[in-house]
Amino acid sequence: MLNKENQRELVYVVKINEVKPIEGKDRVECAVVNGWTVMVRKGQFKAGDLGIYFEIDSKVPETEPFAFLSAKHFKIKTQKYGNFYSQGLLMSAEDFGGMGYQDGDGQFYLHFGKDSYLKENKDYKEGEFLTQALEVTYADPDDNKRKAKVNPDAKINAALARHPKIAKKFGKTIKKYKVLRNLFILFYGKKKDSRNWIEGVPKTDEERIENRPWTLQDGSVKWVATEKVDGTSTTFYLSRGKGMKKGEYLVCSRNVVFDTPEKGKNNFYMDTLGNVYLEMSEKYDVRKVLEKLLELRPSAEWVAIQAETFGAGIQKRDYGMKDHEIRAFNLRYSDCGRVGTLEMVDILEPLGIPCVPVISEGMSLPSTVEELRVFVHSAPSAIDGGMKEGIVFRTLDGVDSFKCVDPEFLVKYHQ
C-alpha cells in the first residue's frame, strides 16, 4: 500500500472483510482483506476483526514472532495451493503480545503495551502503518545489485571513474598490478554521498488493485492498459540549463541517484561497472532525447522519463534476451506532471525511446479482482510471447493509475 508520500508501506492494520473455506483444506481457511486472499488458521479470524497484514515482497526480522518463516528465509511471497493463491501474511495483535479492543464510540483498535513485542504504549486503527514499528523491509532493497555477471574489474573501474585525472595519468598502471588496484580501491573506492531522490519526481510505485478494489465499481471510467514489464525501474532526469550552464542530468534506479560522468574517453562506467541504468543511458542516448523534449516544451523546468530496464540477468524472467533494453512507462514534465500514456507513446517512440506495449486504448474494467486477474493472465507478453507479469491501468489523462500483477507469474518467477 502506498502512503501519502507515495512510498510503499509493507505492513498495516486491516479489517477482515470475509472468512471462507478453502476447497480441500480442513485446518485452514481464507481471509479476505480488500482484494487480497490470505490463508489463515481455522478460527483465527472472523469477519470484522482487525489484523496485521504483511504484503508480499516483505522481509520480516529474524525474531521469535516470525520463527515459523525461517524455512522461507523470513520472506513473504505468493503461495499457490491447488487453485487457491495466498498472497501476504495475516497476523493478530496477540501474536505480538498486544490486544484488540473497541472504544465507547465503536471504534476498533489494536493496542500494544510496553511489555509487548513493540515495547510501546500505543493504539493503532484500521489503515495505520506498522512497517517501521515491526522493522519490516522490502525483500530486495538494493535495486542496484543485479544477478548479471559483472566485469571482475568493476570495482577498480568505478573507483577510477570517480577520479578521472588520476585515471588519465595512471589508470593503466594501477589496473596492471593487483597491489595498486587494492590500495586504490581502499582509499578512493568509496562513492560520494548521493541525494535521497529528485525533488518533484515521484518514485515509480503503482498501487495494486488489491489495495483499492472499489475502483472496479465505477464502470464509466475508461482505462489505457499497458503491459507491466518485469525488470528494474529506471529514471532519467534533465533540468533546463540557464545561460552557459548545462542542465543537471541524472540517472536513477528505483531508490538511488547515481553519479553520471560526462561521455568521453575516461567514462569507465561504460560497459565496465555492470550498472544497467547507466548502460541504458548510453545505449539510447537519453540525455539528447531529454534535451529535445525540453526544446519541445519551453515552459518546463525539467523533464523525466521513467522506464523499465529488463533482459539478461535483471530478473529471473529474462525474455530470452542476451542484452538489456528499456520500455518507457512515464513521461513527466515539471509544469504538467505525468503525460497520458497514448500521448507519451506518440512523443517518445519517434525519438528512439521504446514504450511499454499498449494492450487497450480505452477499456472498461470488470467488477471484481478475480475477473481482472483472468483478463491479465489471458494474453501473452507482446515482447516475446511468454507469460507477462501483469498490466498497468491508467486513465486517459494519466492522472490515476494502478497495477494488477498475475499471481501465477509471481509463483513462477518471484519465489
Which tens digits make up the pLDDT trace of 351-403? 999 999 999 999 999 999 999 999 999 999 999 999 999 999 999 888 899 99
Lowest mean pLDDT among 75-79, 184-188, 281-285: 184-188
User: 13: which 3 cell numbers?
Assistant: 492494520
Q: Which helix (H) or strand (E) element contains residue 145?
A: none
Give the model confidence (pLDDT) of 314-344 as tens digits: 999 999 999 999 999 999 999 999 999 999 9
Q: What is the mean pLDDT of residues 278-306?
A: 94
Q: Residue 233 is which amino acid?
A: S
Give the angle subtended at the CA of 207 by the CAs of 206 and 212, to the nearest 5°. Answer: 155
- The mean predicted confidence, pLDDT, of the chain is 87
- Using CA atoms, how far residue 238 sits from 58, 195, 290, 295, 326, in Å, is 33, 15, 6, 12, 18
What number of other Cβ atoms are within 10 A of residue 47's Cβ? 12
Q: Which residues of 128-153 are buried (b: 16+ CB within 10 A; e: fewer)?
A: ebbbebbebebbeeebbebeeeeeee
Nearby residues of 212 by Cβ (< 8 Å), 6 or more positions away: 34, 35, 402
List where CATH 2.40.50 sits in the chain: 11-138
Segment 81-84 long-range contacts (CB within 8 Å, at least 24 positions apart): 81/22, 81/25, 81/39, 82/23, 82/24, 83/23, 84/22, 84/23, 84/25, 84/30, 84/37, 84/39
Sign of dihedral through CA atoms 379, 381, 383, 385?
Answer: negative
Give the model confidence (pLDDT) of 198-234 as tens digits: 888 888 778 999 999 999 998 899 999 999 999 999 9
What number of other Cβ atoms are within 10 A of residue 347's Cβ? 20
Instruction: Answer for the pair 407, 87: CB distance below 8 angstroms, yes or no.
Output: yes
Instruction: Tell me the sheet residues that pair with 85.
Output: 80
> Does residue 145 or residue 17 have the better pLDDT?
17
**Domain 11-138 class in CATH:** mainly beta
Instruction: Answer for the pair 305, 288: CB distance below 8 angstroms, yes or no.
Output: no
Q: What is the mean pLDDT of residues 281-299?
A: 95
% helix, strand, coil for the chain, step of 5: 25, 30, 50
pLDDT of residue 90 exceeding 90, the answer is yes
User: 403: which 3 cell numbers?
Assistant: 497495477
Nearby residues of 75 by Cβ (< 8 Å), 6 or more positions away: 57, 58, 59, 60, 69, 139
End-to-end CA distance of the chain: 21
Instruction: Answer for the pair 200, 338: CB distance below 8 angstroms, yes or no.
Output: no
List where CATH 3.30.470.30 sits in the chain: 209-413
**E strands in 276-367:** 302-311, 324-333, 337-338, 358-363
DSSP secondary structure code for residue 8 in this structure = B
> Does residue 257 or residue 261 have the better pLDDT?
257
Three-class DSSP category at 363: strand
CA distance 126 to 109: 7
Instruction: Please give the pLDDT value at position 330.
Output: 96
The CATH number of the domain covering residues in 209-413:
3.30.470.30
Sorting pLDDT into bands at 50, 70 and 90, what band is 154?
low
Q: What are phi and psi of 176, to 5 degrees?
A: -75, -35
Chain centroid, CA 117 distance in Å = 29
Instruction: Answer for the pair 310, 231: CB distance below 8 angstroms, yes or no.
Output: yes
